[in-house]
Amino acid sequence: MNTATFLKLQSLGYKGTQNDPAQIAINWLRQKEILRIEPYWRFVNGVCGYSWTKSWDEFSEKIPVKCETTDELFEIALDNSVKEALG
């Protein structure tokens, strides 16, 4: 995760490190009911992206992402969602 994302997570009580896999931070945000990030990856046609929500009812529009791996997708989804949802 980038530095801005890490600092924002720390300010919210995240105790991990900046080098943690993005999926750990995504799970932490969900468990704390701060932000729900839903990455998606479809092997057919290589379609991937994510949505996020703070309300648990309505998600953002699906945001397409160009990436090579699911780890990269999680990183992009975490950094962008935190920036968009939590500023």
pLDDT digits (tens, 9 = 90+) for 39-63: 988 766 668 999 999 887 788 888 9
Q: Do the Cβ atoms of 66 and 73 come closer than 8 Å?
A: no
pLDDT score at 68: 86
Q: Do the Cβ atoms of 51 and 60 come closer than 8 Å?
A: yes
Pairing of strands 63-64, 47-53: antiparallel
The residue-averaged pLDDT of 66-74 equals: 91
pLDDT digits (tens, 9 = 90+) for 15-41: 999 999 999 999 999 999 999 999 988
pLDDT score at 87: 82
Residue 72 predicted with pLDDT over 70: yes
All structural domains of the chain with their residue ranges: 3-9+21-86
Q: Do the Cβ atoms of 6 and 78 come closer than 8 Å?
A: no
